[in-house]
Amino acid sequence: MRGIQNMLAEDRECRDIVTQLAAATKALEQVGFRMLASGLASCLQDPEKSAAEGYPIKEVERLFLKLS
Amino acid sequence: MRGIQNMLAEDRECRDIVTQLAAATKALEQVGFRMLASGLASCLQDPEKSAAEGYPIKEVERLFLKLS
């Protein structure tokens, strides 16, 4: 993020900034998808425990859609 | 970005982290789309100047697809 702000401030090549933006976006999405994949695995292993902790499978699905 | 790292380190609620990830991703995409919308406008106003500067319309289209 800081790196991208510097690139914008330094008026760097548009195509280089777009490449960094795409990489940063992908990295953020992957963090989210990893978290949710692990949440989904918990739901499937023990749906009642997961729901009791506030994450029924419908909620995990909703969070997936929020990121996609 | 720093804020999200702190949230992960502090083991905050999954749904709050996902909300922040989605917001950060959207913000990054918007920076890119704004840059490219302005690049596209330049291409349409003066295609030869834009191409001479290394951004023919095909290249701006390619960069759009990279972010989408």
Encode pLDDT of A5-58 as tens digits: 899 999 899 999 999 999 999 999 999 999 999 999 999 999 999 999 999 999
Residues A32, B39: C-beta atoms closer than 8 Å? no
Encode pLDDT of B4-21 as tens digits: 989 999 989 999 999 999
Tell me how far apart the alpha carbons of residues A45 and A40 are, in angstroms, rounded to a whole number: 9
Alpha helices in chain B (DSSP H): 2-9, 14-45, 47-52, 57-67
Q: Give A8's contacts in chain B (Cβ within 8 Å).
A: 31
**Residue B37 near chain A (CB below 8 Å):** no
- B68 pLDDT band, cuts 50/70/90, is confident
What pLDDT was estimated at residue A1? 80
